[in-house]
């Protein structure tokens, strides 16, 4: 059964759906349909960009190998059940655009390039996905200043489901691995607790 996700808007001058909006939509859908308690081992992977709205194909306790048409996939566990959501393009066009000044997040951050870490301890008018992705991108520009290309958010792994409106006092992103610039791994700490990893790719 296919389920439509809420309508998306393009952000800033982008011509594709922002990964943070997909994360937010998935988090809200999972919370509303299954409830957040007990959800663990969350893994969101982005396979390609899209300029269309999305719909979900939901699978329970089955192995899905054909993900060629998916924009993104999310897997997670709850009560010993394994869920797989495939996010695929719908026939619905995107017909709106919103401002997106992510640089205002970075203005509130402290970046220590030698320590390969970025910290946010000031309140910002962005949700946790938007803050985390903007911080990770800024950290990459700081520690790889001479690398040409565009850093893209490609994967998010968390121990439990992150709520879109989750409150926090401090976020720290620490760069841990660089797999020949094709993929980087970065740890996410929220209020002193490591909650997962965020991955970027250079294109």
38: three-class secondary structure by DSSP: coil
Q: What is the pTM of this model?
A: 0.93
- Round to the nearest angstrom and report the end-to-end CA distance of the chain: 34
SS3 sequence of 97-126: EECCCCHHHHCCEEEEHHHCEEEECCCCCC
Tens-place pLDDT, residues 16-75: 999 999 999 999 999 999 998 999 999 999 999 999 999 999 999 988 877 778 999 999
Q: What is the pLDDT of residue 1?
A: 60
């Amino acid at each position: 059964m296919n389920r439509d996700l809420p309508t998306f808007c393009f952000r800033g001058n982008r011509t594709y759906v922002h990964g943070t909006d997909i994360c937010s939509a998935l988090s809200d859908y999972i919370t509303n349909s299954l409830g957040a308690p007990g959800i663990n081992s969350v893994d969101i992977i982005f396979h390609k960009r899209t300029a269309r709205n999305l719909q979900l194909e939901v699978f329970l306790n089955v192995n899905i190998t054909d993900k060629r048409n998916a924009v993104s996939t999310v897997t997670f566990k709850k009560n010993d059940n394994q869920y797989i959501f495939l996010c695929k393009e719908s026939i619905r066009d995107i017909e709106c655009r919103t401002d997106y000044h992510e640089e205002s997040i970075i203005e509130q951050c402290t970046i220590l390039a030698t320590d390969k870490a970025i910290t946010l301890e000031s309140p910002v008018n962005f949700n946790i996905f938007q803050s985390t992705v903007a911080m990770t991108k800024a950290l990459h520009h700081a520690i790889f200043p001479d690398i040409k290309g565009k850093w893209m958010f490609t994967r998010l792994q968390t121990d439990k489901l992150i709520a879109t409106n989750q409150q926090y006092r401090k976020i720290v992103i620490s760069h841990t691995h660089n797999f020949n610039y094709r993929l980087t791994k970065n740890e996410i700490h929220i209020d002193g607790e490591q909650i997962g990893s965020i991955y970027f790719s250079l294109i």
